């Protein structure tokens, strides 16, 4: 590994949920102040900041300089502030940029922030936001791609939903055809994540559900039901990263090492090729940078915008073999206490999915896990943790993928 060693010195996160009374910048301030306190840092300790938001411009018309406005309001002055947008991987991308800045030696201490206010009193407008996360110049191409992947959906149109539920449903139907994955296995993923979230005080939903509960819930695009899908959520998360010099300056005594922070986009390939999928490629680079393999991972947070998302990503990350994501969840392998616990936070399905905050929320959870501070959600002896976060959709896969690997000292 070249360049400076990089550490997570502090993490902060709001509760994820519905915050009608708070603005995007209020949420950001909550998370930033928590992260600075956790790192033993002050505003003047930070040399550079990366502020992520995917929806602020579309929903609240703050299309530019959101980070400068938010951070100046918290007392940050003179430092470079970079605004970041990368769909649902915005927060993870901000984290990757902060790590790169520190590793290059251009900052000793950097701040990554992701903040999202999704409930703005206009649910239709919020749903329209998701229609901007694929190629808007050729919407017919998306329709063709989904039909090629998943055929025609079964049943009546279930009403208002994000287009990404149709995307995940088509991907799920294709996976069911290829590998025999079942709807009950998807329900097992959702039930597992809802159970994990019951002990997460920051989660949007904290009610346990059985597999039967998940299966009989309101249907979305087949095979998905509502509890298999992430809710619309407000929230923010922030992470302070630093090099060895910054660590000495802060005096943080609980640092977690950033072993890899990779972000990538897709490339032309056969859509049926498992090994050429964007997550597979980015994960390979991350494992190489960290000098580790999937067998070394003790706990993972993955992008389960739907239960099928977790099935697919655990396979692409090499945590389970191709086609085994559903059966592994059914057998309890990905549950707390299982062989490879996945989404101990409750995942996006239960913790919630405030787009730009999601990737940094994953880092928050995994930092607590590696510090041994996750309470009843603790994975015993966790030393290596992995976060996977995807965003958008382009040519049959995510438009952007991030894989972060963290290690305890």
Q: Choose the catalytic residue: 25, 56, 353, 394.
A: 353
Read off the tokens for 164.
Answer: 């990404």
Indicate the angle between helix axes 307-316 and 163-179, nearest 10 degrees: 50
Closest listed residue to residue 267, CA positions, set 399, 93, 87: 399
| Residue 88 annotated in active site | yes
Is residue 108 within 8 Å of 245, Cβ to Cβ?
A: yes
Is residue 11 within 8 Å of 43, Cβ to Cβ?
A: no
| Residue 242 annotated in active site | no
State the Cα–Cα distance between residues 243 and 258, nearest whole angstrom: 10
Read off the tokens for 366.
Answer: 């995994």
Q: Choose the catalytic residue: 88, 242, 277, 394.
A: 88
Closest listed residue to residue 224, CA positions, set 250, 189, 275, 271: 189
* Side-chain-facing half-sphere of 232: CA atoms under 13 Å: 21
For the chain, how many residues are written?
A: 409
Sign of CA dihedral 50, 54, 60, 62: positive
Read off the tokens for 253.
Answer: 């005594």
DSSP state of 341: -
State the Cα–Cα distance between residues 221 and 228, nearest whole angstrom: 11
Read off the tokens for 362.
Answer: 């994953």
Is residue 102 within 8 Å of 1, Cβ to Cβ?
A: no
Burial code of 104-128, b = ≥16 C-beta within 10 A, e = fewer?
eeebbbbbbbbbbbbbbeeeeebee
The residues near 157 (Cβ < 8 Å, ≥ 6 apart) are: none
State the Cα–Cα distance between residues 153 and 220, nearest whole angstrom: 10
State the Cα–Cα distance between residues 346 and 325, nearest whole angstrom: 17
DSSP state of 136: T
Catalytic residue IDs: 88, 353
């Amino acid at each position: 590994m070249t360049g400076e060693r990089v550490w997570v010195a502090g993490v902060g996160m709001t509760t994820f949920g519905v915050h009608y009374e708070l603005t995007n910048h209020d949420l950001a301030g909550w998370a930033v102040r928590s992260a600075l306190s956790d790192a033993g840092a002050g505003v003047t300790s930070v040399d550079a900041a990366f502020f992520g938001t995917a929806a602020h411009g579309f929903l609240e018309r703050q299309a530019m300089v959101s980070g400068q406005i938010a951070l100046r309001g918290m007392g940050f002055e003179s430092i470079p502030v970079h605004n970041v947008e990368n769909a649902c991987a915005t927060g993870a991308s901000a984290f990757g940029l902060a790590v790169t800045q520190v590793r290059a030696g251009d900052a000793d201490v950097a701040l990554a922030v992701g903040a999202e206010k999704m409930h703005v009193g206009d649910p239709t407008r919020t749903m329209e936001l998701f229609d901007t996360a694929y190629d808007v110049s050729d919407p017919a191409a998306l329709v063709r791609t989904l039909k090629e992947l998943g055929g025609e959906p079964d049943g009546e149109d279930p009403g208002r939903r994000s287009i990404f539920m149709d995307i995940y449903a088509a991907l799920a139907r294709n996976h069911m055809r290829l590998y025999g994955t079942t709807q009950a296995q998807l329900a097992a993923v959702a039930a597992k994540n809802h159970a994990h979230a019951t002990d997460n005080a920051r989660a949007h939903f904290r009610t346990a559900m059985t597999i039967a509960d998940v299966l009989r819930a309101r249907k979305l695009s087949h095979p998905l039901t509502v509890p298999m899908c992430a809710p619309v959520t407000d929230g923010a998360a922030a992470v302070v990263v630093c090099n060895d010099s910054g660590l000495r300056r802060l005096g943080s005594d609980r640092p977690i090492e950033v072993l890899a922070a990779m972000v990538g986009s897709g490339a032309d390939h056969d859509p049926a090729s498992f090994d050429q999928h964007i997550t597979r490629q980015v994960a390979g680079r991350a494992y190489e940078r960290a000098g580790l393999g999937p067998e070394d991972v003790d706990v993972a947070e993955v992008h389960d915008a739907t239960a099928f998302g977790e099935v697919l990503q655990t396979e692409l990350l090499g945590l389970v073999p191709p086609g085994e994501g559903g059966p592994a969840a059914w057998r309890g392998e990905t549950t707390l206490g299982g062989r490879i616990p996945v989404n101990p936070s409750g995942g996006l399905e239960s913790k919630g999915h405030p787009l730009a905050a999601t990737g940094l929320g994953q880092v928050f959870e995994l930092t607590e896990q590696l510090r041994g501070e996750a309470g009843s959600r603790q994975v015993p002896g966790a030393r290596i943790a992995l976060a996977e976060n995807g965003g958008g959709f382009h040519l049959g896969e995510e438009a952007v993928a991030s894989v972060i690997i963290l290690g305890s000292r």
